[in-house]
């Protein structure tokens, strides 16, 4: 019932009361003025009493409704607050709560002159769990990790889920870096014990980055940035714990500068492709080359070991890879047309560029735009390409083979499952890692491994390439072992396209 309706009913009843009661009272005691005044007063008090009772009950009902409404609002606000500061998956405090808590700890530390530690803990290779199982399995692992870490917490420690597979640990009242280092190592050791996931035992490791207040940052932005830098350093090696160092910030600035310069260099096509010739032991001449990207700069050439990881981390590797594919293909196609001889061109493919199957479309476009014979192209991949999404990778490799190109297993011997990879995927070439070639003359074990690799390759109908040949002794042994192709500084160093052309011309004249 609305307030307006209640007021109208009250007004109507009061009007009837006044009109009817006066008429009845006048007819009853009209002759006695004293009685009339008495009952008139009594009637007034009765009206006031009844009105007061009605108003009381109405006010009580309104007050109760208001109280219930306020309680519902309070509960709703508490629920929203809990949702705003709680991670939906693990029930742990979330990043927003963690930052709020860290601000309070900074204010408290300023007042009492103490310190605390901020730890970022990240599960290593978590993507492989989602790739090999499914999203739900990944969520189950995150919850299991959270529960195990919670059980290890001590007084003054607050665990927060940052998001994804990353956790934050705030350690109040830390007396020294040594103590917090021990605590983090204990947590990492606890995570190293097997987890049961969908009926299987799963072993994981975790990397940690630590920044301490106030020595590693006097403000929250500094502290979070520096702990993240320390974590980034740990992730390079995995399963380790790293304290922040100012050198990390210098490395980050250098990396950012390199990223910007690389972007400009790719846009301006300031990079070049060099060719390292490959020697055919049966024909006794060069029959192709490996394309190697180089970056000349005003302050000196920047080595590939420095800018290629940056390209992989920042997503520029596809642009870089496409540049190398098109430049290497076009220059090789021009050389073959000019010299009238078939040549192979080998190009390294980054695992990052390979991911998602984008490499198939990129190679197809490079072949079409340069007009090179696909049979001349060798794509070199490492075992890193095959670590995730094995079935999809196999499909992409077969699609590349369908284009007419060949696939080579690069850096053979440095991985863990090379034999199964060679058996299950359409490789045509096997490239023995230079680490075995360099010790070939002095290590009977390495010679035996190279010999076994050649024998296995023959059984699988693969051609064998040995890289890193630097001495005549290595060359003689490899020819004795019947290796098909040799590559290294002894035979030829990487060179610009023009020098490569002159080398082939000189060899053609000798023939």
pLDDT for residue 63: 76
pLDDT for residue 45: 75
* 129 vs 134: CA distance, rounded Å: 7
* Confidence band for 36, pLDDT divided at 50, 70 and 90: low
Least confident among 138-152, 209-223, 373-387, 403-417 = 403-417
Is-contact 157 171, C-beta < 8 A? Answer: yes
> 153 or 60: whose pLDDT is higher?
153
pLDDT for residue 401: 95
Q: What is the mean pLDDT of residues 490-495?
A: 94
410's enclosing H/E stretch is: strand 406-412
pLDDT, tens digit, 9 for 90 and up, residues 327-376: 999 999 999 999 999 999 999 998 888 877 789 999 999 999 999 999 99
> 315 or 54: whose pLDDT is higher?
315
* 92 vs 80: CA distance, rounded Å: 15
Q: What is the mean pLDDT of residues 164-189?
A: 86
> 297 or 482: whose pLDDT is higher?
482
For the chain, what percent of residues have pLDDT higher than 70?
89
Least confident among 133-142, 161-170, 283-292 = 133-142
> 51 or 491: whose pLDDT is higher?
491
Q: What is the mean pLDDT of residues 234-256?
A: 84
DSSP label of 376: G
pLDDT at 434 over 70: yes
Q: What is the mean pLDDT of residues 95-124?
A: 91
3-state secondary structure of 429: strand
* Confidence band for 437, pLDDT divided at 50, 70 and 90: very high
pLDDT for residue 290: 97
* Confidence band for 29, pLDDT divided at 50, 70 and 90: low
pLDDT at 144 over 90: yes
* Confidence band for 113, pLDDT divided at 50, 70 and 90: confident
pLDDT for residue 79: 63
Q: What is the DSSP string of 46-102?
A: HHHHHHHHHHHHHHHHHHHHHHHHHHHHHHHHHHHHHHHHB-TTT-SBBHHHHHHHH
Which residues on neighbouring strands pair with residue 431, listed in sequence order? Answer: 465
Least confident among 30-39, 181-190, 382-391, 453-462 = 30-39
pLDDT at 417 over 60: no
pLDDT at 418 over 60: no
C-alpha dihedral sign at 449, 453, 454, 455: positive
pLDDT at 94 over 60: yes
Judging by beta carbons within 10 Å of its beta carbon (0-12, 13-18, 19+), is residue 451 exposed, middle or buried?
middle
* 37 vs 41: CA distance, rounded Å: 6
pTM across the whole model: 0.65
> 75 or 283: whose pLDDT is higher?
283
Is-contact 168 160, C-beta < 8 A? Answer: yes
pLDDT at 301 over 70: yes
432's enclosing H/E stretch is: strand 429-432
* Packing angle of the helix pair 304-314, 246-267 (nearest 10 deg): 90
> 222 or 416: whose pLDDT is higher?
222
């Amino acid at each position: 019932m609305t307030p307006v309706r209640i007021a109208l009913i009250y007004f109507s009843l009061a009007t009837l009361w006044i009109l009817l009661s006066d008429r009845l009272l006048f007819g009853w005691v009209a002759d006695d003025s004293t009685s009339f005044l008495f009952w008139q007063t009594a009637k007034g008090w009765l009206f006031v009493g009844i009105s007061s009772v009605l108003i009381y009950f109405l006010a009580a009902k309104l007050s109760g409704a208001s109280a219930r409404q306020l309680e519902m609002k309070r509960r709703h606000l508490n629920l929203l607050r809990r949702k705003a500061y709680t991670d939906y998956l693990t029930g742990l405090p979330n990043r927003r709560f963690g930052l709020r808590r860290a601000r309070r700890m900074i204010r408290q530390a300023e007042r009492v002159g103490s310190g605390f530690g901020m730890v970022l803990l990240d599960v290593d290779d978590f993507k492989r769990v989602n790739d090999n199982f499914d999203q739900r399995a990944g969520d189950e692992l995150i919850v299991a990790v959270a529960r195990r870490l919670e059980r290890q917490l001590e007084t003054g420690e607050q665990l927060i889920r940052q998001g994804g597979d990353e956790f934050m640990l705030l350690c109040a009242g830390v007396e020294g870096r040594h103590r917090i280092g021990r605590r983090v190592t204990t947590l990492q050791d606890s995570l190293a014990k097997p987890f049961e996931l969908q009926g299987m035992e799963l072993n994981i490791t975790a990397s940690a980055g630590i920044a301490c207040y106030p020595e590693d940052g006097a403000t929250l932005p500094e502290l979070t940035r520096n702990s993240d830098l320390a974590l980034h350093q740990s992730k390079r090696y995995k399963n380790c714990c790293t304290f922040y160092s100012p050198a990390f910030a210098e490395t980050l600035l250098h990396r950012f500068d390199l990223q910007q310069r690389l972007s400009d260099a790719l846009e301006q096509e300031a990079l070049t492709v060099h060719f390292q010739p490959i020697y055919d032991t049966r024909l006794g001449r060069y029959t192709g080359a490996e394309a190697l990207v180089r970056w000349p700069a005003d302050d000196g050439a920047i080595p590939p070991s420095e800018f290629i990881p940056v390209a992989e981390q920042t997503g520029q590797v596809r642009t870089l890879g496409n540049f190398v594919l098109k430049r290497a293909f076009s220059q090789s196609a021009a050389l073959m047309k000019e010299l009238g001889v078939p040549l192979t061109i080998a190009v390294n493919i980054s695992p990052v560029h390979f991911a998602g199957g984008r490499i198939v479309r990129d190679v197809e476009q490079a072949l079409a735009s340069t007009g090179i014979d696909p049979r001349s192209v060798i794509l070199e991949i490492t075992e890193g390409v095959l670590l995730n999404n094995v079935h999809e990778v196999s499909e992409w490799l077969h699609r590349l083979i369908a284009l007419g190109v060949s696939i080579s297993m690069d850096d053979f011997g440095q991985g863990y499952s090379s034999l199964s990879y060679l058996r299950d995927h359409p490789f045509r070439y096997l490239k023995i890692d230079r680490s075995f070639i360099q010790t070939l003359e002095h290590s009977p074990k390495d010679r035996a491994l190279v010999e076994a690799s050649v024998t296995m390759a023959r059984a699988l109908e693969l051609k064998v390439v040995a890289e890193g040949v630097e001495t005549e002794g290595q060359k003689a042994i490899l020819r004795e072992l019947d290796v098909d192709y040799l590559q290294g500084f002894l035979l030829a160093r990487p060179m610009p396209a023009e020098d490569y052309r002159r080398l082939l011309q000189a060899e053609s004249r000798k023939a």
